[in-house]
Amino acid sequence: MNFHNPLQGKALNFPKEYKDKVETYCATKPGGGESEGPEYNPFKRQVDLWFTSFCLGVNSGNRTKSKNAYRFITGEVLAQNNHMIEIIEMVAIAETKEPLIIGDTQKLADISNEYAATGIAILFNALKYTKDQTPLWNLVEYFKDNL
Amino acid sequence: MILNKVKIENFRILRDVEIEFSSDNKKPLTILRAQNESGKTTMLRALQWGLFGKYALPKSGRNYRLYHLDLNVGDEIKVSVELDFTHVWSESPLLKTTAKKESSYVLKRSVFEKVMKNDDFERKEESVELLEVTPNGYSPVANPVDRLKSILGSNLKDLFFTDGDDALRFIESADGNSARRGHVKKAIKDMLSFEVIKDSIEHVKIIERSLRQESTSITSGDAQKMLAVLDKLEDSMEDRQVAIDDLVDQKDETDRDIRKIEIRIDDILEKGDKEELKKRKDALKRNEDQIDNNIKNRYTELSKFYYGDIIGGVLCKEKIDITYNFLVDLKNKGVFPKASLPFLKELLANEDDCICGRPLKKGTKHYTKIEKMIKEEAENDELGDRITQLRGISKDYLMQKTKKIIFDNESEELITNIIEQKTNQEDLQVEIKKVSNEIDSIPDSNLKELRKQSKDLTETRTSLNKQISRLRFEQDEDKKDYRYTKTQYDAILKKEDRTKKILSKINAAQDIANVLKDTYALVENEEVPKVSENLNNLFLTIIKATDGDKNLGLIQKAEVNRDYDIEVFGPKNRKYDNKDLNGASRRALTLSFVMSLAKVSEFVAPNVIDTPFGMMDEIVKESCLQTLIKECHQVILFLTRAEINDIEDLLDKNAGSFHTITNSAHYPSKNLVHDNNSQDKISLICKCSHREYCNLCELKGDSSSGMKKRATK
Amino acid sequence: MALDRKKLVQIVKDKCANIETVNNSTEKYRTELYAAVTDIIYQESLHQEKATKIQQKIKDIISRLSEASN
C-alpha cells in the first residue's frame, strides 16, 4: 500500500546550534561512531528526536522560526512512521483550521520544523534533567514530573 | 636260660621253700636230695608251673590242686612261685624285646585257690609278673608272657623238665607206636622249629599266589599317550598362567593408578569443582546476557515510547482535539467528505434514472456528464480522503492515545519491566561474582585431564578384566581336561605301578619262601640227622657201649629214623625192640635224646630231671651223670639217697648247690629222726649236701654213715 | 618253640646272605630279607600259641621287604 507521506522530499530541520548535539542522543550516527544503547541514545534516528521535539513544541504552544536551521534529513524517512505523519497533519489542521493544509506540504514542513525548533530545547533540557541519570531515564523522570 | 633261685609258697606241700641253683659253669649241677614223697615231683611241677603256667600242670591244671591238703573247705590261699633266672640273648632279629645280651629276671606267678566241697576248688586267674633286674632296680616287663615265650617257648617244659619215667614216652608208649613217634617228632620239630618254618612257608606261598592273581597286564602305550596330552596341557596352562599373572599385575597397577587419580580428583573436588563452577558461571553469564538483551530491548521499547504515537498523542492532545472537532464539523457540513461523489457513483451503478429524472443509460449525455463529474471530483478527492481519515484517526487518538493515564501505564509497565530485569541482572551479577570468586579461590587444576585419565584407565581395567576372565575360563577348561586325563592316567599308572609293586612283592615272597624252604631242608636234612647222630654218641657213651672206636656191647647204635622212631640196633644192625632194653638203657636213651636235641638246636636251658638214675647201675649212672655234666649248661637233679650212691665224688666235683627236701610227715614212720611240724606235712628244705644231715633231714643211720652233721639256724 | 634259637637264627642268616634272590641283591636287601624271615618265624610262633591275623602280618612283612628292594 502506498504510504501517505506529505513531507516526502521536504527538509526536516533542526536549529543549527543543535547540529552536533542531536547525534549524541541518537543511535544512528551519520557522522560515525557507535551507539551506547538506548539509555544514552534514546532516539533511534534523528527524525525520532525531531518528532519528540515537535511534540514538545506543540505541547508548549510555541513555534520558533529558526534563522539558522540545518536540514538533517528529508521527509522520506517518515514513510514508515504513520503516527508522526498523522500527528503532524492533525496539528497542522488544528493550527490553520484548514483541512487542505495537508495538501500544502511546504506549510506542513514549516509548521512541524518550527514546532520542532521550539521543542528541541525542551527536549535537551529533559535529556539532561538530572546529572546522574542517563538521558533515557531523564526523559522518564521529566515526563513523569512534567507531563 | 639259667635258673638262679626259686621261692615257692603254698604249692601243695611246698609251704615255704627257697632253693638256690648253681649257675657256675664249672659246677653246673644242682642236687636236690629227696626221698620219695618228699616233694621232688611237686618241686618239678612248681618249677614247671612257675615258668609255664597252668598248662604245664597235669591235665593243664584241671583237677590238679595247688593248695595243701590241710586246708579246710572255704579256706582260700595264695599260691606263688618266684623264680630268679638269667638269660643270655643271642644276636637275633627274632627278639622282639629291647633286652640286653644277658638279662636277669624275677618271675612271680601266683594264684588264689579256694577249697570247696568234695575235693573241689576254685582257682582264680593267675597273676604273672616279670621283673627285669636293671642297675636302677627292678623294671617290670610289659608283656611278661611274650617275653617268657621268647625265652622258653611253651613246648619245652616236657623236654627240659623231665620226670625220669615220663621221659620214657619217647621210646615207649602205652598209647602205641604212633603216639611214641608223635612224641619224638613233636620234640624234634619243636626244638628245631619245623612246624613254624613249614607253616611260614605255607603262608608265604598262599600270599604269593594271591599276589600273582592280583597282577594284571596293561598296555603301557595308553599311559604314554595320556602323558603326552598331560604334558601339553601343563605347558599350555603354565603359559596361560604366566599371561594371567601378567594381566593381573597390570590390572592391579591400573587399579592403583585409578585410585591415585581418584584421590587427586577428590582432593580437588573437596576444594571445589572449578569446571563445574565455570560451567555454572557460563550459564549465569548467558543468563545475564539474555537479561542484558532483554533490558536493551526494554530500553529500546521505552525509548521508542518517547517518540511513539502515545507521547505524540499526549503532547499534541489539544491540537488533535481541535482537529477532530473541526473535521467532524466539516463532515457534518458535508464539506469533507464530499457527499456527492459517492452518491453519483451509486447513482450510476444502481439507478436507472437520475434524480433529475433523466435516464442513466450508459452512453447517454447525462450519463457521460455524471461520469465526468465523478472523474473531476475523484481527482480532487485524495485530500478529502485523507481528511476523512484524519477525522477517524483523531478520534482514535482521543480515545486511546492522548490520555495520560495510558501513557503512564504503558511507560510504567515498561519501566517496571526494566527495573525487574535490572534487579535480576544485579542478582545475577552478584551470583556471577560469587561464582567467579569461588572459581578464583580454587587453584588451577587439571581436573578435566585427570577425569579423562581416570576414564581411560577404567576402560583399560575393564578390558584387562575381560581378558583375565577369558583366560581364566580357558584355564578352568584346561584344568578340567587335565584332571580328567590325569585321573585316567593315574588309574593306568596305578595299575602299572601296582603291577610293579605286586611283582616286587611276589619276588620278595619268593625270596622269603626260598630262604624258609632252604632252612627247612637244611634242618630236615642236616639237623635231624645230627640229632640222631648225637643221640647215638651220647647214648653209647652213657651206656658205655664203646671204648674208643671199639664197640663193646650188644647195643651198637641208636638213631632216630625218618619216621621219628628212636631205634636201637645191636650187632649186625639188628634192631632191638625198645621193650627189650633194660630200664637203665631206656632211661639213658631218653636222656640222650633230650640232650642231643638241646645240643643240636643249641638251646640253652636248665635240665631239670626228677630221679634220672632209676634202674641204672653205678657205671651207667656215673657215665650218665658225666654226660649230663658235659653236655648240659645247667643240670638240676632230684635224686634219692639211693641214686646218689656211687656218684658222690662226681657230685662233689660238679655240684655247685645242694639242697635236701624232707617231708615233715616222714617223722617217724619213714625214718625221719626229728619231728619238725610233722603234723603239718610240709616239705622242709635244708642245704645239706649228699654228705650232710641236719635236724631237718636226718634219717636214721645218717649219724653213723659217715655224713657230717650240719648245724641248722 | 623257643624263639631265641641261636642255631635256627644262624641258619636263616646264612641263607639270606647267600641265597640267589629274585629281587635286586643288595646288601641292604639281604639284611631286610633276614629281618623279614625272622619276623615271619616270630609271628608264626606267636600264631601257634594263639590265633592271630597271621596272613595279614606276613603280607605286611612281604610288602615292607618289597619296598626295600626298590
Instruction: Among B303, B308, B386, select the one facing A83 at the smallest CB separation.
Output: B308
Chain A residues within an 8 Å CB radius of B326: 93-94, 97, 99
pLDDT of residue C37: 92
Asked whether B147 and B51 are in contact (CB, 8 A), the reply is: no
* A91-129 as b/e: b if 16+ CB within 10 A: bbbbbbeebebbbbbebbbbbbbbbbbbbbbbbbebbeb
Which among B295, B315, B326, B328 is the top mutation candidate for probing chain A, defined by the most A β-carbons within 10 Å of its own β-carbon? B315
- Count of CB pairs separated by less than 8 Å, B with C: 159
Cα torsion at B646, B647, B653, B654 (round to 10°)?
A: -170
Q: What is the mean pLDDT of residues B116-137?
A: 90
Chain B residues within an 8 Å CB radius of C25: none
- Decide if B499 touches C, using CB distance below 8 A: no
For residue C4, the distance in angstroms to the closest alpha carbon of chain B comes to 6
DSSP tally for chain C: helices H, then strands E = 3, 0
pLDDT of residue A60: 94
B456: helix, strand or coil: helix
Q: For residue range B171-194, what is the model confidence (pLDDT) as tens digits? A: 776 667 777 788 888 888 777 778
Instruction: Among B94, B190, B511, select the one facing C42 at the smallest CB separation.
Output: B94
Under the banding of pLDDT at 50, 70 and 90, the label for residue B219 is very low
CB contact under 8 A, A87 and B312: yes
SS (H, E, C) B594-650: HHHHHHHHCCCCEEEEECCCCCCCHHHHHHHHHHHHHHCCEEEEEECHHHHCCCHHH
Q: Does A5 fall in a domain?
A: no
Residue of chain B with shortest Cα separation from C15: B515
Instruction: Among B308, B319, B336, select the one facing A90 at the smallest CB separation.
Output: B319
**Category of A111 on φ-ψ map: left (φ > 0), alpha (ψ -120 to 50) or beta:** alpha
| Joined grid coordinates for residue A15 | 536549529
Which residue, chain included where needed, has cell 576254685?
B122
Under the banding of pLDDT at 50, 70 and 90, the label for residue B29 is very high
Domain that holds residue A32: 11-146
Chain C residues within an 8 Å CB radius of B148: none
- Decide if B518 touches C, using CB distance below 8 A: yes
Q: What is the mean pLDDT of residues B194-207?
A: 88
pLDDT of residue B228: 84
Q: For residue range B490-511, what is the model confidence (pLDDT) as tens digits? A: 777 677 777 778 888 888 998 8
Which residue, chain included where needed, has cell 612224641?
B183
Q: What is the DSSP letter of B360?
A: -
C and A in touch (3+ CB pairs within 8 angstroms): no
Chain A residues within an 8 Å CB radius of B306: 42-43, 52, 136, 139, 143
Q: For residue range B626-678, what is the model confidence (pLDDT) as tens digits? A: 998 988 889 999 999 888 988 899 899 999 999 999 888 888 888 888 888 77
Q: Does A20 fall in a domain?
A: yes
CB contact under 8 A, C7 and B600: yes
Under the banding of pLDDT at 50, 70 and 90, the label for residue B321 is very high
Q: Does A1 fall in a domain?
A: no
- Name the average pLDDT for chain B: 84
pLDDT of residue C4: 54
Instruction: Among B312, B314, B330, select the one facing A83 at the smallest CB separation.
Output: B312
Give the angle B118-B124-B129 at the CA atoms, nearest 5°: 145
Strands in B561-605 per DSSP E: 566-569, 575-576
Residue of chain A with shortest Cα separation from B336: A99
- Decide if B308 touches A, using CB distance below 8 A: yes
Instruction: Among B306, B335, B387, select the one facing A42 at the smallest CB separation.
Output: B306
Q: For residue range B600-610, what is the model confidence (pLDDT) as tens digits? A: 877 788 888 88
CB contact under 8 A, B204 and C12: no
For residue A15, the distance in angstroms to the closest alpha carbon of chain B comes to 19
Under the banding of pLDDT at 50, 70 and 90, the label for residue B204 is very high
B333: helix, strand or coil: helix
Phi and psi at residue B125, in whole multiples of 5°?
-70, 135
CB contact under 8 A, B315 and A44: no
Q: What is the ipTM of this complex?
A: 0.96
SS (H, E, C) A51-78: HHHHHHHHHHCCCCCCCCEEEEEEHHHH
Q: For residue range B571-592, what is the model confidence (pLDDT) as tens digits? A: 877 888 777 788 888 888 888 8
Instruction: Among A43, A94, A140, select the one facing B322 at the smallest CB separation.
Output: A94
Number of structural domains found in chain A: 1
CB contact under 8 A, C5 and B92: yes
> Distance between CA A29 and CA A120 in Å, rounded?
18
CB contact under 8 A, A143 and B302: no
For residue B236, what are the CA distances in angstroms to A26, B229, B231, B331, C62?
Answer: 89, 11, 9, 115, 43
pLDDT of residue C8: 80
**Between residues B324 and B165, the one the model is more confident about:** B324
Instruction: Among A37, A55, A147, select the one facing B299 at the smallest CB separation.
Output: A37
> Distance between CA B315 and CA A144 in Å, rounded?
13
Report whether pLDDT(B105) > 80: yes
Instruction: Among C3, C15, C37, select the one facing B150 at the smallest CB separation.
Output: C3
Residue of chain B with shortest Cα separation from A93: B323
Q: Does A31 fall in a domain?
A: yes
CB contact under 8 A, C5 and B603: yes
- Decide if C56 touches B, using CB distance below 8 A: no
**Between residues B561 and B204, the one the model is more confident about:** B204
Report whether pLDDT(B169) > 90: no
Q: What is the mean pLDDT of residues B114-130?
A: 90
- Decide if C4 touches B, using CB distance below 8 A: yes
Among A70-84, B482-496, C15-29, the range of highest mean pLDDT: A70-84
Q: Does A3 fall in a domain?
A: no
- Name the average pLDDT for chain A: 88
Q: For residue range A25-39, what is the model confidence (pLDDT) as tens digits? A: 888 877 677 777 888
Which residue, chain included where needed, has cell 598362567?
B241
- Decide if B319 touches A, using CB distance below 8 A: yes
Q: For residue range A42-75, what is the model confidence (pLDDT) as tens digits? A: 999 999 999 999 999 999 999 998 788 889 999 9
For residue B375, the distance in angstroms to the closest alpha carbon of chain A comes to 19
C and B in touch (3+ CB pairs within 8 angstroms): yes
- Decide if C57 touches B, using CB distance below 8 A: no
Which residue, chain included where needed, has cell 635240665?
B607
| Joined grid coordinates for residue B479 | 584344568
Report whether pLDDT(A1) > 50: no
> Distance between CA C6 and CA C2 in Å, rounded?
10
Asked whether B328 and B387 are in contact (CB, 8 A), the reply is: no
Cβ contacts of B653 within 8 Å, gap of 6 or more = B27
CB contact under 8 A, C9 and B91: yes
Instruction: Among B149, B195, B602, select the one facing C7 at the smallest CB separation.
Output: B602
CB contact under 8 A, C66 and B505: yes
Instruction: Among B302, B316, B386, select the one facing A38 at the smallest CB separation.
Output: B302
Under the banding of pLDDT at 50, 70 and 90, the label for residue B98 is very low
For residue B269, the distance in angstroms to the closest alpha carbon of chain A comes to 42
- Decide if B300 touches A, using CB distance below 8 A: yes
Residue of chain C with shortest Cα separation from B148: C2
pLDDT of residue B140: 92
Q: Does A136 fall in a domain?
A: yes
Q: What is the mean pLDDT of residues C40-55?
A: 83
Please return the burial class of A65, using the count of CB atoms within 10 Å of its CB with bins 0-12, 13-18 and 19+. Answer: exposed
Q: Is the peptide bond preceding residue B140 cis, with omega within 30 degrees of 0? A: no
- Poorest-confidence range of B40-49, B255-264, B349-358? B349-358
* A contact chains, 3+ CB pairs < 8 A: B
pLDDT of residue A81: 86
CB contact under 8 A, B603 and C6: yes
- Decide if C26 touches B, using CB distance below 8 A: no
- Decide if B696 touches C, using CB distance below 8 A: no
CB contact under 8 A, B386 and A102: yes
Question: Cβ–Cβ contacts within 10 Å for residue B687, how many?
Answer: 17
Phi and psi at residue B37, in whole multiples of 5°?
60, 25
Q: What is the mean pLDDT of residues B213-218?
A: 58
Phi and psi at residue B308, in whole multiples of 5°?
-95, -170
Q: For residue range B517-557, what is the model confidence (pLDDT) as tens digits? A: 888 888 888 888 888 999 999 998 888 876 666 666 778 88
Q: Does A135 fall in a domain?
A: yes
End-to-end Cα spacing for chain A: 36
Helix (H) or strand (E) holding B83: strand B76-88
Report whether pLDDT(C3) > 80: no
**Between residues C50 and B120, the one the model is more confident about:** B120
Report whether pLDDT(B243) > 90: yes
pLDDT of residue A48: 94
Which among A4, A26, A90 is the top mutation candidate for probing chain B, defined by the most B β-carbons within 10 Å of its own β-carbon? A90
Instruction: Among B306, B311, B319, select the one facing A95 at the smallest CB separation.
Output: B319
pLDDT of residue B217: 47
* B contact chains, 3+ CB pairs < 8 A: A, C
**β-pair type (B566-569, B557-560):** antiparallel
Report whether pLDDT(B296) > 60: yes
| Neighbouring-strand partners of residue B708 | B692
> Distance between CA B525 and CA B519 in Å, rounded?
10
Instruction: Among C3, C54, C58, select the one facing B94 at the smallest CB separation.
Output: C3
Q: Does A142 fall in a domain?
A: yes
| Joined grid coordinates for residue B641 | 639217697
- Count of CB pairs separated by less than 8 Å, A with B: 116
Report whether pLDDT(B153) > 70: no
Chain B residues within an 8 Å CB radius of A8: none
Q: In what order do the strands lie in the sheet with B557-560?
A: B557-560, B566-569, B575-576
Which residue, chain included where needed, has cell 579246710?
B72
Cβ contacts of B179 within 8 Å, gap of 6 or more = B169, B173
Report whether pLDDT(A24) > 90: no
Chain C residues within an 8 Å CB radius of B509: 62
